[in-house]
Amino acid sequence: AYVVTEACIKCKYMDCVEVCPVDCFYEGETMVVINPNECIDCGVCEPECPAEAILPDTEGGLEKWMELNATYSAQWPNITIKGETPDDADSHKGEDGKFDKYFS
Ligand code: SF4
Ligand code: F3S
């Protein structure tokens, strides 16, 4: 499956949700996640993200994010249409430590 990582936090551009053929994105306050059981590994979302937040789980070291995507995709509502990107999204692009600072 593909995984949404820290770079999404506070950016939430949502270009990814528009292109997913199986609608497997779920929306939280500060980021979106992918349901790993529904993702068919098509890869079309990865290049759509301006924050480069989406990676394949075959990339090493993503355990924390794989777990977070699995956990929250079971709790958060499904999102299939791009919503309003936060006004300050660009200022949080590439910022370090966003999980500790902002995740909710
Ligand atoms: Fe959806 Fe394809 Fe991205 Fe998986 S890889 S989340 S199926 S767009
Ligand atoms: Fe997040 Fe990128 Fe989608 S910032 S909402 S993963 S387009």
Flag whether 55 is in a domain. yes
> Tens of pLDDT along 38-51?
999 999 999 999 99
Query: At 19, which CATH number?
Result: 3.30.70.20
Mean pLDDT of the chain: 98
Helix (H, G, I), strand (E, B) or coil at 63: helix
Structural domain count, the chain = 1
| Averaged pLDDT for residues 6-25 | 98
> Tens of pLDDT along 48-87?
999 999 999 999 999 999 999 999 999 999 999 999 999 9
| Phi-psi label, residue 23: left if phi above 0, alpha if psi -120 to 50, beta otherwise | left
Alpha carbons 37 and 14: distance in angstroms, whole number:
20
Flag whether 35 is in a domain. yes
> Is 34 touching ligand 2 by the criterion CB < 6 Å?
no
| Domain of residue 38, residue span | 2-81
Closest atom, ligand 2, to C-alpha of 89 = 4
pTM passes above 0.95: yes
Q: Decide: 64 and 12 in contact? Cβ < 8 Å.
A: no
Flag whether 89 is in a domain. no
User: pLDDT exceeding 70 applies to what percent of the chain?
Assistant: 100
